[in-house]
Amino acid sequence: MDRTVVPGFDIPAASLQSFISLAIIIFIPIYDRILVPIARAFTRESSGITMLQRIGTGMFLSIISMAVAALVEIKRLQTAKDYDLVDMPTATVPMSVWWLVPQYLLFGLADVFTLVGLQEFFYDQVPNELRSVGLALYLSINGVGSFLSSFLIYVIEEATSAAGDTSWFSNNLNRAHLDYFYWLLAALSAVQLAIYMYFAKSYTYNSGGTM
Residue 165 lies in a domain: yes
Q: CB-based contacts of 153: which residues, under 8 Å, 6+ apart?
A: 169
Percent of the chain at pLDDT above 70? Answer: 94
pLDDT bracket for residue 130 (50, 70, 90):
confident
Output the pLDDT for position 74: 96
Output the pLDDT for position 156: 92
Instruction: Give the least confident one: 70-84, 110-124, 185-199.
Output: 110-124
On average, the pLDDT of the chain sits at: 87
The number of beta carbons lying within 10 Å of the beta carbon of residue 160 is 19
Predicted confidence (pLDDT) at residue 49 exceeds the cutoff of 70: yes
Residue 121 lies in a domain: yes
Residue 86 lies in a domain: yes
Output the pLDDT for position 201: 78
HSE, side-chain direction, 13 A CA sphere, residue 18:
5
pLDDT bracket for residue 163 (50, 70, 90):
low
Residue 75 lies in a domain: yes
Predicted confidence (pLDDT) at residue 155 exceeds the cutoff of 80: yes
Percent of the chain at pLDDT above 90? Answer: 41
The widest CA-to-CA distance across the chain, in whole angstroms, is: 63
Residue 6 lies in a domain: no
User: To 10 degrees, what angle do helices 101-124 and 18-30 make?
Assistant: 60
For residue 98, what is the domain's CATH number?
1.20.1250.20
